[in-house]
Amino acid sequence: MGGYVLAIDQGTTSSRAIVFDGDQAIAGVGQKEFPQHFPRSGWVEHDLEDIWNSVVETCRDAILEAGITAADIAAIGITNQRETVAMWNRETGEPVNNAIVWQDRRTAELCDRLKADGREPLFTGKTGLLLDPYFSGTKIAWLLDNVDGLRARAEAGEIAFGTIDTFLIWRLTGGARHVTDATNASRTLVYNIADNAWDAELLGILDIPEAIMPQVLDCAADFGTARAGILGAEIPIYGVAGDQQAATIGQACFEPGMFKSTYGTGCFALLNTGADRVASKNRMLTTIAYRLDGETTYALEGSIFMAGASVQWLRDGLGIIDSAAASGDMAADADPEQDVYLVPAFVGLGAPHWDANARGAIFGLTRGTGPNEIARATLESVCYQTRDLLDAMHGDWGEADSASTTLRVDGGMVVSDWTMQCLADILDAPVDRPQVLETTALGAAWLAGSRAGVWPDRDGFARTWALERKFEPAMDAATRERKYAGWRDAIARTLSGHSA
């Protein structure tokens, strides 16, 4: 078979498919954006048929570009936007509603009610998560309560729930498999990460029938076989991981204490804590990094909702840039005497604040402020938020500080040298950019390829990680702390509990 592996990377704004060869090099790529739907303020939805069609199209494009046939592919790995909720008819495979995207905030009131009832410690203790609209559980409950007849159909066993990986596997296998992996399950708010099982008590609180939940497998496992009629041959699906965990794997962060941060639509930093489920004192998430051969590795995670999406706002909302790449050049040309801060709480604030009701704000505007300063503030906001996350993680982990930390980065934003240098400066820590930036797809591919026996084992894979550029901090301490203090002040003024 030549070791070819197909990675499906189903993201928030586009679907990608990448064919890797036996040397783990990219042989073919397909990518397709799909529409975003915003039916109300704070609501974000996807049409599942758009997702499915984009995945099939990009897989075929990647295979064609690689100059191979589907029969040459040893296995498929899937990585996906996490927490996004899909439900469909078990008989027909037809979606019952648009998918509710991880960014969606419609369940904020439900989360607030559960918190007021004192439920959050129970959820956090079992799942490692907080009661926030970000996670799947309250989205599932919303659909069951708001789509006519859905609850009765779900209780009758007619409906299947899944995160996007589960929906894709269902479609690829022709409905033969209703499965997910441990990393995606760990983001649903109803999966007990200590017991590695759906939690009946939490399902009961949210009134979710367990019958709609998929079977949970290791990240490298037999998830079923894609039908020949879809891609041209039957291909086993051997690897699945949520996008941030897949990036952690693709960055070879297999040792406790290793960090990675992915800068896509949002920003997600993960710290490998090994076999230890570290309970956060700083409102970080405790989650499953991966589960291999029945052994669970845990992580602390911090989530920023708006990273690359903030740059998209500069382009599509304000119209001050033509392309994302222009933002770095504009930031470099900004007036260094102006301290402008953008708090990108367009859909609330994630870790460590977890304020679903906060909204975006800009501080420090003067008559001299223009597009360049706004662009710089947007990129700097991602760096400041990353520091918020890492400082909180260091407080929880207690075994590292910024001076001893190296951050491995990936995602669309890391191609910007200006942004990566700013990140190193604000963190006061080195930032390592790898040669292979497609780490999310690579992680999914490794899970599948190693299971298929055509790619190396974990240690062999880790040895292949290669550095493209290291960014060392160059900002003086006084400037760094002055700028970060301004950011902290801007955050404090933006939190929904703040009173002017």
453 belongs to a structural domain: no
Do 365 and 472 share a domain, yes or no?
Answer: yes
| Amino acid (one-letter) located at 418 | W
Classify residue 264 by its DSSP letter.
Answer: S
**Is 325 inside any structural domain?**
yes
Element holding 89 (H helix, E strand) = strand 86-89
Domain boundary pick from 243, 278, 299: 243
Q: What is 27-86 written as a DSSP string?
A: EEEEEEE---B-SSTT--EE-HHHHHHHHHHHHHHHHHHHT--GGGEEEEEEEE-SS-BE
| Residue 263 backbone dihedrals phi, psi, to 5 degrees | -115, 90
Residues 236 and 204 in one domain: yes
Number of domains present in the structure of the chain: 2
Residue among 431, 26, 458 at smallest CA distance from 267: 431
Pairing of strands 73-80, 4-10: parallel
Which range of residues forms the domain containing residue 392?
A: 252-434+466-500
Query: How distant, in Å, are the alpha carbons of 260, 350, 366, 393, 464 from that of 301?
Result: 10, 11, 36, 8, 25
Boundary residue ending a domain (243, 275, 294): 243
**Which residues are CB-neighbours of 482 under 8 A, at least 6 positions away?**
none
Residue 88 and residue 49 share a domain: yes
Is residue 183, in this structure, part of any structural domain at all?
A: yes
Residues 86 and 115 in one domain: yes
Please report, in tens digits, the pLDDT of each residue of the chain (500 residues total): 568 999 999 998 899 999 999 989 999 999 999 988 999 988 999 999 999 999 999 999 999 999 999 999 999 999 999 999 999 999 899 999 999 999 898 999 999 999 999 999 999 999 999 998 989 999 999 999 999 999 999 999 999 999 999 999 999 999 999 999 999 999 999 999 999 999 999 999 999 999 999 999 999 999 999 999 999 999 999 999 999 999 999 999 998 888 899 888 888 899 999 999 998 888 889 999 999 999 999 999 988 888 888 888 888 888 888 887 888 889 999 999 999 999 999 888 887 887 878 899 999 999 999 999 999 999 999 999 999 988 888 888 876 554 456 789 988 889 899 999 999 999 999 999 999 888 999 999 999 999 999 999 999 999 999 999 999 999 999 999 999 999 999 999 999 866 44
CA Rg value for the chain:
22
Q: Token pair for residue 342?
A: 């953008």
Which residue among 207, 224, 243 closes a domain?
243
Asked if residue 456 belongs to a domain, the reply is no
Q: Distance (Å, rounded) from C-alpha 447 to C-alpha 459?
A: 13
pTM beyond 0.95, yes or no: no
CA distance 240 to 179: 10
Q: Same structural domain for residues 70 and 192?
A: yes
Residue 230 sits in the same domain as residue 275:
no
Is 461 inside a domain boundary?
A: no
Asked whether the beta carbons of 166 and 179 are under 8 A apart, the reply is yes
Are both 239 and 259 inside the same structural domain?
A: no
| Residues 368, 267 share a domain | yes
Residue 420 lies in a domain: yes
Whether 57 and 150 share a structural domain: yes
Helix (H) or strand (E) holding 442, with range, is helix 439-452
The verdict on residue 163 lying in a domain is yes
Nearest partner of 320 among 342, 294, 297, judged by Cα: 342
Task: Report yes or no on 70 lying in a domain.
Answer: yes
Statement to judge: residues 237 and 297 lie in one domain: no
Same domain, 236 and 301: no
10 Å CB burial of residue 401 (0-12, 13-18, 19+) is middle
Here the CATH number for the domain that contains residue 17 is 3.30.420.40
Residues 235 and 257 in one domain: no
